[in-house]
Chain A
Amino acid sequence: MHFTLNGRAVSFEGAGSRRLLDVLREDLRQTGTKEGCGEGECGACSVLIDGEVVNSCLVAAGQVEGCDVTTVEGLATNGGLSPLQRAFIERGAAQCGICTPGMLLAAHVLLQRTRRPNAAAVREALAGNLCRCTGYTKIIEAVLSCAT
């Protein structure tokens, strides 16, 4: 299987029916992607496939043949955190951190598509990513602070 992961060509051998989540974590050692429920409810395993947010626990690895996959590791550039990542840190949007990779990716896509989202749009965009620590307030503030 061949696909692009965070801008680099990668390949792995094995059953295409395996969960993309497991291939990313176990084979490719990209452990930023987390498992929270394994049934597409919590969004902790969110990744981008060709720019769309998907739950990688529900994607068979064979489906990403030739696709462009982005995980949270792909948000930083040249070892520097993205403005969104920095905003999460500065505004207290990450507490225990397990939902953070998925939150960042969902927020990243929103900000790519909507330069100045309002709070309602942020809530809508993050509704597939559960957080139990923050009450979402600081996450929403962090995303809004990155509107350009």
Chain B
Amino acid sequence: MFEVTQATEVYSTIEIAKGDVAAGEQAADFVVERTFRVGLQEQLYIEPQGAIAYPYRETGNGKRETGVTVVGSLQCPYYVHRALKRALALTDEQAVVIQAETGGGFGGKEEYPSIVAIHAALLACKAGWPVRLIYDRHEDLAATTKRHPGVISHRTAVKKDGTLLSQDIYIVLDGGAYCTLTPVVLSRAAIHAAGAYSCPNVRIRARAVATNTPPNGAFRGFGAPQSLFAAELMVEHVAERLGMSSVDLRRKWMLRVGDTTATGQNLTESVSAELVLDAALRAVAPNRLTAQPPIRHGRGLSLVFHGSGFTGSGERKLSGTVAVAGLANGTFQILTASTEIGQGTKTIFCQLAADALGVGLDKVVLAPQDTSLVPDSGPTVASRTAMIVGRLIQEAATELRDRAKREPLPLRVEKTYVQPDSIHWDEATYRGDAYPVYAWACTIADVDVDMTTGEVRVTDVVTAVDCGKALHPVMAEGQIEGGSLQAVGWATIEEIKMKDGGYQNDRLATYLIPTALDAPRIRTILVENPYSRGPFGAKGIGELPMDGPAPAIIAAIHDATGVWLDEVPATPEKVLAACTSR
């Protein structure tokens, strides 16, 4: 495998600058430097990639016409639609994409299903017959994109009292041999790299490079788990150097209303670093059990934020559209391309519409995610579905209710996203409002480390999350718990070994994810600090739970063993080697 730090083929670069880092370092009592590494991760949706392609499209009366229809396991119907049109020279109408019930996505079914769909469609067109193409697990693991590995270096300048003077951060993400959504992943990594902290002088340089591995792509968190891992551990290292508690240091540094982020975004509302920190600390018992040798207990904490919705001008460019229709029979239909992939889209959309319409839940149905029926509300990614699309549904349903008082049914109201005038973003300089708003989380992890084997067992995870407003508290908790466990897996047991640019463990027998026995007890505390433009105040939380557990676990391992690991996954080999070389 090519060493990412040496790679010379560059897919994209980003530079974020705020203040003067050199001046910050000059005024410092200490400058702390550290380099961190993060590994590959497979999304491991339990249902593999798959699609069925038909060499025709059906019109309303069942008549077959020229075109191609693809039914597949996918997150973004209109991404596949665009790919089919381009690959097979079809018109908007001739390409039809329908989402099947989808057994998990996590970003893995954002981009890749376009490839499966085109392959199946080509075969179907050639054969003149429907073609079903389902990856077996080995093929899925070997071929589909993974989370980007990376190397992230920090130089942090502070005064003796802990005052944060500057952060100088350098990120290299490994894109693999072909470019996927890598530049966009790099963007989210860079924007989150300074962490949930206020610093007057920041420089973030980020580059995504080509190596000889299969390509890496979209995965829940989208670069932020990588850069936040480094940012959070850096807090620990600076605190250690200062002889301060890292919780106290976080309190000193954390972003508050009125502070500006690395991109110069002035945070005006729903800023909850302190709220989630306090909520998490209140939820854990201060006393820990004494462990019996060779087991040692440890506890670690992290504090993170994650932008909701597309980056910068992304939502304005997308102009996501939804419709709500009142049918003649008195029922209502929601038309959107946003997909249910286990996160609760179907339920919360119906809740929002029913509430705005003032009707029972049983009067509202969600139209199928079929591009011949529904408008393009944008992809189901980027923690945007509840906050951005949910708000559009709420607005459309409210307008429909008002119009239905004066006009007879059927009626249809469409709403398209309009970027608020207060959001400014400069793509060229990376200055401005990187996201409409941020969601916040504080995670506390307890671990047992077996000092004879190096095995790390995460026993408890407590995570306090500010989601603005939990539209469906049970589902919000479920999404947070699942994301937390996915992060625990990334931090501990999920490892891909490389040989000659290929994956060595590309079967489910060799790539391990946590089972019910491996999983810690996970407790979620929902904190609600509403966002003025979210539906009922809701913000996006799909990706956030992926960010916090890894650095909390590494801090907990340090608490248990006295040893700092600078990378994930913390496999027994690495833990043991670090403990022995100490």
Q: Which of A14-22, A74-82, A118-126 contacts B (4 or more CB under 8 A)?
A: A118-126
- A22 CB to nearest B CB, Å: 12
CB distance from A121 to the nearest CB of B (A): 11
Q: Which of A5-13, A32-40, A60-68 contacts B (4 or more CB under 8 A)?
A: A32-40
**Residue B77, interface by CB 8 Å:** no
Whose C-beta in chain B lies nearest to the C-beta of A134?
B482
List CB contacts (< 8 Å) of A89-103 with chain B.
91-92, 95-99
Q: Are B46 and A36 in contact (CB under 8 A)?
A: yes
Among B103, B136, B507, B513, residue most surrounded by chain A Cβ atoms (within 10 Å)? B103
Query: Smallest Cβ distance from B119 to chain A, in angstroms?
Result: 19
Name which residue of chain A comes closest to B511, CB basis.
Answer: A41
Contact assessment for B475 and A92 in the assembled complex, using a CB-CB cutoff below 8 Å:
yes
Question: When the two chains form the complex, which single residue of B47, B136, B516, B522 contacts A126, counting CB atoms closer than 8 Å?
Answer: B516
Task: Determine if A34 and B484 form an interchain contact, defined as CB atoms under 8 angstroms apart.
Answer: no
Chain A residue contacts of B343, Cβ below 8 A: 95
Contacts A34-B103, A92-B474 given; does A134 touch B46 at CB 8 Å: no
List the A residue with the shortest CB-CB distance to B344. A95
Q: A39-B509, A123-B516 are in contact. Are A97 and B103 (CB under 8 A)?
A: yes
What's the minimum C-beta distance from B475 to chain A, rounded to whole angstroms? 6
How far is B175's CA from A46's CA once the two chains are assembled, in angstroms? 37
B55 to chain A, nearest CB (A): 22
User: Considering the complex, which residues of chain B in the window 465-487 have a beta carbon less than 8 Å from any beta carbon of chain A?
Assistant: 474-475, 477-479, 481-486
Take A42-B46, A97-B101 as given contacts and tell me if A92 and B509 are in contact as well, using a CB distance cutoff of 8 Å: no
Q: Does B519 contact A (CB under 8 A)?
A: yes
Is A37 touching B137 in the complex (CB atoms < 8 A)? yes
Residues of A within 8 A of B479 (CB): 95, 133
B526 to nearest A CB, angstroms? 13
Write the nearest CB–CB distance from A100 to chain B, whole angstroms: 10
Q: Are B516 and A140 in contact (CB under 8 A)?
A: yes
Alpha-carbon distance A126/B514, docked complex (angstroms): 12
What residue in chain A is nearest B347 (Cβ atoms)?
A: A92
> Inside 8 A of A39's CB, which chain B residues have their CB?
137-138, 507-509
Give the shortest distance, in Å, between A76 (CB) and chain B (any CB).
Answer: 18
Shortest CB–CB separation between residue B435 and chain A, in angstroms?
Answer: 25
B264 adjacent to chain A (CB < 8 Å): no
Q: How far is B46's CA from A44's CA once the two chains are assembled, in angstroms? A: 8
Which chain A residues border B481 with CB–CB below 8 Å? 134-138
The reply to whether B485 and A136 form a contact with Cβ atoms under 8 Å apart is yes
Cross-interface CB contact of B102 among A96, A126, A129, cutoff 8 Å: A96
Contact status of A134 and B478, CB under 8 A, knowing A39-B509, A96-B102, A127-B515: yes
Q: Does B44 contact A (CB under 8 A)?
A: yes
Please classify how large the interface on chain A is, using the bins under 10, 10 to 19, 20 to 34, 35 or more.
20 to 34
Which residues of chain B are within 8 angstroms of A128 by Cβ–Cβ distance?
515
Across the interface, name the chain A residue whose C-beta is closest to B512.
A41
Is B317 an interface residue, CB under 8 A from the partner?
no
Check A135–B104 contact: CB distance below 8 A.
no
CB contact under 8 A between A98 and B104, given known A131-B46, A138-B478: yes
Q: Is the CB of A133 within 8 A of B136?
A: no
Q: Chain A interface secondary structure, helix, strand, loop or mixed?
A: loop
What residue in chain A is nearest B44 (Cβ atoms)? A132
Interface status of A130 (Cβ within 8 A of chain B): yes
Q: Which residues of A contact B67 (CB under 8 A)?
A: none
Is A132's CB under 8 angstroms from B474's CB? Answer: no
- Which residues 450-499 of B have a CB within 8 angstroms of A? 474-475, 477-479, 481-486
Closest A residue to B489 by beta carbon equals A132
* B45 CB within 8 Å of chain A: yes
Which residues 87-137 of B have a CB within 8 angstroms of A? 101-106, 136-137
- Which residues of B sit under 8 angstroms from A44, Cβ to Cβ? 46-47
* B478 close to A98 (CB less than 8 A): no
B347 to chain A, nearest CB (A): 10
Q: Hey, which chain B residues are within 8 Å of A98, CB to CB?
A: 45-47, 103-104
How long is the Cα–Cα vector from A123 to B459 in the complex, in angstroms? 13
CB-CB under 8 A for A132 and B106, given A36-B46, A37-B508, A137-B481:
yes
Residues from chain A with a CB closer than 8 A to the CB of B106 are: 132
- A41:B477 contact, CB within 8 angstroms: no
CB distance from A147 to the nearest CB of B (A): 16
Report the separation of the CA atoms of residues A134 and B341 in the bound assembly, to the nearest whole angstrom: 12
Contacts of B214 in A (CB 8 A): none
Bound CA span A126–B519, Å: 11
Asked if B516 and A96 make an inter-chain contact with CB atoms under 8 angstroms apart, the answer reads no
- Are A135 and B341 neighbours in the complex by a CB distance under 8 Å? no
User: From residue B72, how far is it (CB to closest CB) to chain A in Å?
Assistant: 14
Bound complex: CA of A35 vs CA of B48, how far in Å?
Answer: 8
Inter-subunit contact B474/A138 (CB<8 Å): yes
What are the residues of chain A within 8 A of B101 when measuring CB–CB?
Answer: 97
* A139 lies within 8 A of chain B by Cβ: yes
Residues of A contacting B46 in the complex (Cβ-Cβ under 8 angstroms): 34, 36, 42, 44, 96, 98-99, 130-132
Q: Is B285 an interface residue (CB 8 A)?
A: no
**Who on chain A is nearest to B517 by CB?**
A127
Q: List 26 A-B contacts (CB under 8 A).
A: A34-B103, A36-B48, A92-B477, A95-B342, A95-B482, A96-B104, A97-B342, A98-B46, A98-B103, A122-B516, A123-B519, A124-B517, A127-B516, A128-B515, A131-B46, A132-B43, A132-B104, A133-B342, A133-B478, A134-B482, A135-B484, A135-B485, A136-B481, A137-B522, A138-B474, A140-B516
Question: Which 5 residue pairs of A and B lie closest in terms of their CB atoms, listed nearest first?
Answer: A96-B342, A98-B103, A135-B481, A95-B342, A135-B485
